[in-house]
């Protein structure tokens, strides 16, 4: 599985747009990029997944450049409840789940009033 690098922590304020970038230089052709959110003492929650260009859902957008060596999770108009750890994962989307999901250290996002 491709290794990912993301900032250890970020701070922002309520109402702002937050962009968290993840580097994955060794991404393979059949790899997808997936982001999870985790609150303290809870399991991670799937946010969004993409392969290339841009993906948007009701909670976030995911921007992936043409070379796919990085990706940016965009959270529009954050609130205090968005304070959490955000994990970027890269792997294929086969049904096998080979080696499980490889979670790095994640980005601890802190939203202030």
Partner 1 sequence: KAGVTQTPRYLIKTRGQQVTLSCSPISGHRSVSWYQQTPGQGLQFLFEYFSETQRNKGNFPGRFSGRQFSNSRSEMNVSTLELGDSALYLCASSLTGNEQFFGPGTRLTVL
Residue among 17 and 44 whose Cβ is closer to partner 1: 44
Residue among 88, 11, 98 at smallest CA distance from 48: 88
Cβ count within 10 A of residue 20: 20
Distance of closest approach, residue 41 Cβ to partner 1, in angstroms: 7
State the nearest-atom distance from the C-beta of 57 to partner 1, in Å. 12
- Residues forming the site for partner 1 (CB under 8 A): 32, 34, 41-46, 49, 87, 89, 91-106
* 53 bridge partner residues: 64
Residue 42 CB, nearest approach to partner 1 (Å): 6
Q: What is the largest CA-CA distance in the chain?
A: 42
């Amino acid at each position: 599985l491709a290794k990912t690098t993301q900032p250890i922590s970020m701070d922002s304020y309520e109402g702002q747009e937050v962009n968290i970038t993840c580097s994955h230089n060794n991404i393979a052709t059949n790899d997808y990029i997936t982001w999870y959110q985790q609150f303290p003492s809870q399991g991670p929650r799937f946010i969004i997944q993409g392969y290339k260009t841009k993906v948007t859902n009701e909670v976030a957008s995911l921007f992936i450049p043409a070379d796919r060596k990085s990706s940016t999770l965009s959270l529009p108009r954050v609130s205090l409840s968005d304070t959490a750890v955000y994990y970027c994962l890269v792997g294929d989307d086969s049904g096998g789940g080979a080696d499980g999901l490889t979670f790095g250290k994640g980005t601890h996002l802190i939203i202030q009033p």
